[in-house]
Each structure stands twice: as C-alpha cells, then as structure tokens.
Structure 1
Amino acid sequence: MTLTQGFCDTAFEPVREALEQQLATGEELGASICVTVDGEPVVDIWGGHTDTTRDTAWERDTLVNVFSITKTMTALSALLLVDRGLLDLDEKVAHYWPEFAANGKADVEIRHLLAHTSGVSGWEPPMQLEDVYDHESAAARLAGQPLWWEPGTASGYHALNYGHLIGEVIRRIDGRTLGRFFDEELARPLGADFHIGTGPEHFGRIAPIVPPPALEFDMATLDQDSILVKTLTCPLLDYERTADPAWRSAEIGAVNGHGNARSIARLQSIVSGGGLLDGRTWLSPGTVDAIFREQSDGFDLALMTPLRFGIGYGLPQAQTAPTVPDGRVCWWAGVGGSFVVNDLDRGVTFAYAMNKMAPGLIGSDRADAYLTAAFEAVA
C-alpha cells in the first residue's frame, strides 16, 4: 500500500521512496516534499497524518508552521523592493527607519539585517512571547536597543526578530505590513498557499506541531548575558503555543509562516530561476547576484555553529549542511527539520515541510535523506 499521494516524475522516485520509508518507520508523522526544475514541479508529494493518534490524514492542502523557512519569504519580499530601486542593501537602516539609529546603531546597514550580522539578534530582557505578536511595539524596542557586537564582523542568527527588523523597513518604505506586502506582491500573484499572519479561515487545515525531545542541557547553566542565551531565550519559543490563534494570526516574519512544500517551492522558484518565473521577471539578474554576496563565514554567535550567509539566505557550508550542494546555491532550514534549497546552476528548488520536529536547530536526518535523493536525481 502506498503511503504517499501526489505526483512524482519517474527520475525522482527515490524521493518518494525515501518519504515512504520514513513514514513506515514512524520517524515521519506527516510531511510534504516538492521539487521544481525550471519552475515546474517534478515532485509534489505528501503523506502521513496531522495528529499523533493518526486519525487525520495529511492532505494536499494541509498547512504547517515551517518556522525559519519564513525568513526566506521575508528576504524575498525585501529583494522585491531592492529590485524596484526602493531599498538599497548598502544604505543605513536609519535612512528608512530613523529611530533605529539610537544607542550606537546609526551605521547598521540593510545588508546587515538580511545577513544576521546587524548586532541586534534579539531583544533585551525582559521579553515575553506574546510581546512578539505586537509588531509595532516589538520593533520600537529593537530600535531603542544598543548593539550586542560590531555590525558586519560576525553573524548572530536573528532567530525571532528577523521579520520585525526587515518588516519594519518594508513598512516604512511601502506602508504595508510585511504579511500584507508578501501576500499581495508574492503569494497571491503566484497562487502560493503560504501565509505570514494566517487567517482563522485556514486554521482547520493546519497540522499541529509535535515538539522535539527536550534539550539535554539546561540553558540556566549558561552565561545569561551571552548572545546565545539572549537570542534564543528572550523570549523562549514555546512550541506548544504555536497552536494558539494569537500565534498563528500574528505577523512574525522570522518564524510563524504557514505553508507546505508546494507553496515554499513555488515562491522560491523565483530564486532558482534566476529571477524569472512563469515568463515574468520578478528579480533582475543583479538582484539575484546580490544574494550571493558573502556577508559572513564563521562561527555564528547565536547558534554556536559554522554558517555562511549571503543576502537573505545561507550559502553552502559543508560542516553544518553537508547535503546542500556546492555551487550557485542558497538555502535555509526551519527548526525541527523543514528545509528549502535553491540551486541556480540546475534551476532546482527543493522544499520539505513536516509536523514532527526532529532535535537540533538546523536540518535533520530525514531532510538529509530527501535532499540526497532529490539532488542525486538531477546530478
């Protein structure tokens, strides 16, 4: 009995087989995988269940919180403004958002926000999770904060505040909130079922998250003033609360995007197509080239792992993401395992979304298995 539904080109059958194997063993609860080549789907499959009792099947239109995959949508939104000449990557953030210059941040540039090198990777304590839901006040707090390190000298992953920083710049330029801008300029025109700020009409299609095993170490034993602790615990992302209506409906452009592999791949195919999709130029070659302007390559101050960042995306890094191919490739992952890779050399986008979270902050054994199968098929 087949455990998956959807379409899979014959050359990519190993991808389906890999997903079915993970579903059969119970490692995977419910998931979707989509691969596009030159913007056209060659894999669009899904399977499993949305609930731990396995009573409700994962359907074609099931949505799930994909956490930091949301950041790639936020970055894509900013790149649209770059392409229109409304946003300059090398301009000071304060040029668009004057209040941000406070407390020594006058020289922080837009590229620093997009590459996690701004020196503002989180909020000064105290900060509760519900405080993040109010974009205006949360952004104002970031504007008033001091730097945690010298901008541009290292990355410190902007885990929860990436969308507040970039979203506020977008709002200052365009007038629309990030969620509305993304919906009206990208998701709706492309027919992509992805939401930054998900309306209640979609709640019935959302697969609840199954949290990963608890951390094996106690954060309380670490230096509470470290960039790692302040970034990841102020506030702490509570996975159980991702089922709350307030979380789902807030516009948190770092972590609360809801979609599936099909919608992720549809949107990100703009990048793997070199800016061209459906015969329309969404981004010029120069804007796409900017993604690959390396901004940092080294030990990330917040995640404590080696990372390479371009503009808005991670770049290939063999230690941290060994299954991401080399070349003109950009990628990112959501905590628990969701993954997207844009390979411009081959015109390929790979996307994976699931509800059972794996341990670790970047990738998973499951994601690696699917990625390996997909890229072996296009090698």
Structure 2
Amino acid sequence: MSHNINGKAAGKFAAVEQEFAKNFAERGEVGASVCVSVGGETVVDLWGGTADPATETPWERDTVSIVFSCTKAATALCAHILVDCGLLKLHAPVSEYWPEFAKNGKELTTVQMMLNHESAIPAQREPIRPGGFLDWDYMIQRMEDEEAFWEPGTRNGYHMVNFGWTVGELVRRVSGKSLGTFFRDEVASLLSAEFWIGIPDDFSQPIAPIIPFVPDPKMELSPFTKKLLTEPQSIQALSFLNNGGWTPNDPEAHKAEIGGAGGIANARGQVAMYEPLANGGSINGVTLVSAARLAEMGKVSTATQIDATLLAPTRFASGFMKSMDNRAYPGGDQMSAVLGEAAFGHVGAGGSIGFADPDHDLAFSYTMNKMGAGLLLNDRGQSLIDATYAALRA
C-alpha cells in the first residue's frame, strides 16, 4: 500500500514529516493529515496514505474525515464567542436560557458546569431510539428528561456525546441559530476553515471512511473498557453504546449536527480554527474572541483524580481538554495526551487532535481514518506533537 505523502514541512519541522512517515511505516497508519502553524504561518501541511482501502482511493489534499470529539472544541468555541459578546454568562444557571432543562436533579446546573462536564448527564439510562442521534429536538428532550447521575457541580464525568447537545442547545437558544449554522457563520466561513458540524446537502469533498480499532486480545484493558464490557448499565457502557445505532460512516449522520462527536474536518481545517486562539484571539483581521476571553479559555476549570466516565485523571478548561499525562497509571499510555502547559484543545476517538498553545503561538492538528487504542492519543498523534515541540525548542 503506497503512503504517497504530500505537502510540506519547513526547515526545522522536517522531523514532523519523518514521524508522519514513520506512522505509516511502523505504527499502522492508513490515511492521515497533519498541520502546524506558528505565529500564523503554516510550517507543516502534510497528508498521505489511503482514504478508502476498499477502493484504494488515496488521501488527497482536500480529504476530510470524522474527527469525533475534536468537535467539542468547536462547540465550546461557539459558547465562548457568545460569552465574549455578553449574551451568555458562565456562572448563570442554565435555567435562565433553557428552563426545560432544570428538572430531575439538574435545577442548579450552571453554564460553566456544562462546559466542565459536570452537568451530571454523561449518558442516557433508557435506550435511544433508532436514529435518535440524528434528531436534534429528540435529543434535546432526552437531555431535559434525564435524571442527574450526581449533584451537578460536585464531580466531573466526561459527557462523551451529550456535551454537543447540552452546550449546543445553549448556543442555539442564545444565538437563535442551530449549532452547525452558528459555527459556520461565526467561525468556519470567516477563517475559510474546512470544518463542519453537519455538512450541507451539496457537499462534494471526499470523506474518508473511519476504520474501527480492533484490539489485540493480549492488550491490557483500561478501567473504562473493563466496565464498558462487563456492566451494561454503567455510565461507561451507556455513554458509549446507547447511541441509537449511530455510526460514523453513515452519510445521514454526516449531515446531522452532532456537536459532541460528529464534526468533519482535516488537519488544515482544524488548524484554521485554532490559529486565532494561538495568536491573541485574532488572525489576518479576523477576531474570534477578545484577548481577555482567550486568557480565560485556556485555564484549567476542573480537574479530577477519577473522572466518573473515563475512570482516569482528567483536566479540562471550559469545554477544552488540557494536557493529561497519565502514563504512570496501568494502561495510561491509552489515557494520555501530553501537550504544553498552556495548550488547550480536544482529542477525538481513535487519536485525532487539535489544539492551540498561546505560549508558542502554535496551532496543531492531526486527523486520520484508522482508529487507534485508547480514549485519548496513541503513539501516532503523540509522536507528531513531540516532534513539533522539539522543533520549537531547537
């Protein structure tokens, strides 16, 4: 299978290209893209491999793929834009904007708790109806009706897909636009970013099918995976498996606005979104957020020793993941994403990631079609990040 790596890696960033090639040669990569911008200048823009092994279609410059939970950062950014405008208050009760949510133990939930994965509905107990994830109104009613799993604000538990509806509905209620439309109008279009939360009917770019991860029977299972496999009513199983049959390669799912897991992008598209956040809030005359809001966005807002969903230590800014180094724990290499201390962004299932690091004016993204082990990064994405930081230090 040809790797056909294309694009550029400038000067001292050649090591990123070497690791990208090594991902194909040694780490099982099938098709992928990586992009790095420093100070608004693109220093790495690479793509290669096979987008669809069934047809041997190569991964082209404009190939995109599902980026799973990387979408949460796009959803969070929409909320922060509204906070910056004074239309959404972080410490206000959600009931101020969405009264129907405030019931079944969720009455005291604040906007900040929703961004922190503390709003206490990481999953649904009752089965999602077939196709439910594709129906916004249905899922919003499910958010409203679900009983809190804990007292909101008292603990943190990753809202694996629900984050897109809890935070996304706030965006819709406050802005009057659907989440995908708001993101398109206020972020993607302004930055010419190849990133969509729900693609339009006339979408023509090639979408690489996701290739599921097949675990090695000898592989050490994380606590999350053990619970998922053995306790069907656990938060782990319900958050991951109770999805109404949603699959990432369903063309109808690509059109749905699934703000927690359904975004479609490539590395260049994600970097375009993060470039303003790496450079004071503005890039090329486009301001997404003020410098003051940006400074708050990158701060740790919640951290826990045992996340109620992921069953590992986690650190979040308001809607964004921070560096999480859990390599000292059993199976911790599958539960880590090691970034700069100022960096904030989000991983996606299987190992994709996008983030900004304002300390280095850095915007970084890696996307791929072959999922890897774990819930955060695997050795493919981490090797590219490590090479990028090494180049910045050189």
TM-score bracket for the superposition, by shorter chain length: over 0.9
Distance apart, 1:364 and its partner CA? 0.9
Distance apart, 1:358 and its partner CA? 0.7
Secondary structure of the residue that 1:36 maps to in structure 2?
strand
For 1:299, the equivalent position in structure 2 comes to: 306
TM-score (norm 2): 0.90
Distance apart, 1:281 and its partner CA? 2.9
The runs of 4+ residues in structure 1 deviating greater than 6 Å are none
Give the 3 Å change call, closer, same or farther, for CA 129–365 of structure 1 in structure 2: farther
The counterpart of 2:324, out of the listed 312, 317, 321, is: 317
The counterpart of 1:245, out of the listed 248, 251, 265, is: 251
The counterpart of 1:228, out of the listed 229, 236, 241, is: 236
Give the 3 Å change call, closer, same or farther, for CA 322–337 of structure 1 in structure 2: closer
For 1:157, the equivalent position in structure 2 comes to: 158
Secondary structure of the residue that 1:102 maps to in structure 2?
coil
For 2:344, the equivalent position in structure 1 comes to: 330
Aligned residue identity for 2:252: A
Distance apart, 1:341 and its partner CA? 2.5
Structure 2, unpaired ranges of 5+? 218-224, 327-331
Give the 3 Å change call, closer, same or farther, for CA 112–10 of structure 1 in structure 2: same
Secondary structure of the residue that 1:119 maps to in structure 2?
coil
Q: Distance in 2 between matches of 1:354 and 1:20?
A: 13
1:359-370 alignment, distance < 5 Å:
359-370=373-384
Distance apart, 1:376 and its partner CA? 0.5
Give the 3 Å change call, closer, same or farther, for CA 237–275 of structure 1 in structure 2: farther
The counterpart of 2:287, out of the listed 273, 281, 291, is: 281
Aligned residue identity for 2:146: Q
User: Equivalent pairs: percent with the same residue?
Assistant: 35
Give the 3 Å change call, closer, same or farther, for CA 233–295 of structure 1 in structure 2: same
Q: Distance in 2 between matches of 1:254 and 1:377?
A: 32
1:1-379 alignment, distance < 5 Å:
3-25=4-26, 27-53=28-54, 55-128=56-129, 130-202=131-203, 205-214=206-215, 222-235=230-243, 241-291=247-297, 292-319=299-326, 324-379=338-393
Q: Distance in 2 between matches of 1:263 and 1:284?
A: 22
Q: Is the 8 A contact 1:156 1:302 kept in 2?
A: yes
Q: Is the 8 A contact 1:82 1:89 kept in 2?
A: yes
Q: Is the 8 A contact 2:197 2:262 kept in 1?
A: yes
Q: Distance in 2 between matches of 1:198 and 1:191?
A: 15
For 2:329, the equivalent position in structure 1 comes to: none
**1:258-299 Cα deviation digits (max 9, x unpaired):** 010000011012222231221333211221122214223321
Give the 3 Å change call, closer, same or farther, for CA 237–32 of structure 1 in structure 2: farther
Q: Distance in 1 between matches of 2:268 and 2:315?
A: 26
Distance apart, 1:361 and its partner CA? 1.2
Q: Distance in 1 between matches of 2:306 and 2:262?
A: 26
Give the 3 Å change call, closer, same or farther, for CA 156–26 of structure 1 in structure 2: closer
Greater Cα shift, 229-238 or 365-374: 229-238
Secondary structure of the residue that 2:47 maps to in structure 1?
strand
Distance apart, 1:220 and its partner CA? 7.0
Q: Distance in 2 between matches of 1:323 and 1:220?
A: 22
Give the 3 Å change call, closer, same or farther, for CA 377–54 of structure 1 in structure 2: farther
Distance apart, 1:4 and its partner CA? 1.4
Q: Is the 8 A contact 2:116 2:317 kept in 1?
A: yes
Give the 3 Å change call, closer, same or farther, for CA 257–223 of structure 1 in structure 2: same
Distance apart, 1:236 and its partner CA? 7.0
Give the 3 Å change call, closer, same or farther, for CA 313–98 of structure 1 in structure 2: same
Q: Is the 8 A contact 2:50 2:56 kept in 1?
A: yes
Q: Is the 8 A contact 1:128 1:234 kept in 2?
A: no
Q: Is the 8 A contact 2:51 2:209 kept in 1?
A: yes
Count of residue pairs brought into register by the alignment? 377
Distance apart, 1:352 and its partner CA? 0.1
Give the 3 Å change call, closer, same or farther, for CA 183–309 of structure 1 in structure 2: same
Distance apart, 1:331 and its partner CA? 2.8
Give the 3 Å change call, closer, same or farther, for CA 237–154 of structure 1 in structure 2: farther
Greater Cα shift, 127-136 or 305-314: 127-136
Aligned residue identity for 1:210: I
Q: Is the 8 A contact 2:84 2:293 kept in 1?
A: yes
Secondary structure of the residue that 2:314 maps to in structure 1?
strand
Q: Is the 8 A contact 1:64 1:206 kept in 2?
A: yes
Give the 3 Å change call, closer, same or farther, for CA 269–129 of structure 1 in structure 2: farther
**1:226-267 Cα deviation digits (max 9, x unpaired):** 3222222222775xx322121111110011100100000110
Structure 1, unpaired ranges of 5+? none
